[in-house]
Structure 1
Amino acid sequence: MDIYFAGSIRGGRDDAALYADLIDALERHGTVLTEHVGTADVEEREEAVDLSDREIHDQDLEWLRRADVVVAEVTTPSLGVGYEVGRAVAWEKPVCCLYRPDSAHDLSAMIRGNAAVDVLEYQTPSGVESELEAFLESHH
């Protein structure tokens, strides 16, 4: 199973360690095409390989199109993640959004109100693991 993991990069990197834990959990179920999202220095890596914004966009859309499922951590608001979720829904990909309700940000109605998106509220990666596993197994 190819899994596309989406998380905020330019919108804020406060959750990078959390993303890494979620990616580790997802890797037990398949290949995470976007494992770099969980690295603390993702922006520096992109600059080091000299990727333009267009190249990043095109590469990410290629991975998104290839993915069997999309898992997005949406607690930190991100234009990019919202865009990726919207494209995935349009392409009829199974989408699961992870959200920590104790955050300072309310979850957008465009995510929570979308019947094509499964929203899982959680506090810790280990606390959502069984629900996330059920989502992945139902789309395998």
Structure 2
Amino acid sequence: MKIFLSASIRGGRDLLPTYMKMHEFLQNEGHEVLSWHVADPELEKTESVMSEQEIYQRDMDFLRNAKCVIAELSTASTGVGYEICSALQLGLPVLCLYLPDANVSAMILGNDSKLLKCRMHGNFGELEKEITTFLDEMK
């Protein structure tokens, strides 16, 4: 399945190891992660040569080609919020994951769309379980 992985880039890269594990898990399960760059430790170098318009167009193209979105929300990010809203407007199912101490936007947690699922995770095992459940429900 083609999946759009959404996670903080300019908002902070403290959870990069988590994004990398998510990407690896999805690939190992046979999925295509369109937005692989989210888990790229060299991303800042790559995106520094791209214009904002090129980044926007790339990400919107990925969203249009995805079957669902999996977003890690523990680090606040305007871009992640924008991608979630765009995905919902495109009719894509979205799984939002976050750590217990994260300050997640009420605009996401309070949205009762049937396409949106928000789940807390405390470790990578829980994260993996939530992703598996979400993807199984889509089948």
Q: TM-score, normalised by structure 1?
A: 0.92
2:5 alignment counterpart: 5
Q: Which runs of 5+ in 1 are unaligned?
A: none
Q: Give the partner amino acid of 2:26.
A: L
CA-CA distance at 1:79 after TM superposition? 0.4
Displacement after TM superposition at 1:130 (Å): 1.9
CA contact (8 A) 1:29 1:136 kept: no
Runs of 4+ in 1 over 6 A off after TM superposition: none
Normalised TM-score (structure 2)? 0.92
Among all aligned residue pairs of Structure 1 and Structure 2, give the percentage whose two residues are the same amino acid.
38
1:29 deviates by 4.2
Give unmatched runs, 5+ long, in structure 2: none
Question: What is the CA deviation profile of residues 41-89 of structure 1, one whole-angstrom value per residue up to 9, with x for unaligned ones?
Answer: 2111122xx3211011001000011100100000100000000000001
Contact 1:17 1:39 (C-alpha < 8 Å) held by counterparts: no
Q: CA RMSD in A?
A: 1.1
Aligned to 2:132: 133
Q: Counterparts of 1:59-98 in structure 2 under 5 Å?
A: 59-98=58-97
Residue 13 of structure 1 contacts residue 40 of structure 1 at CA under 8 Å; is this kept in 2?
A: no
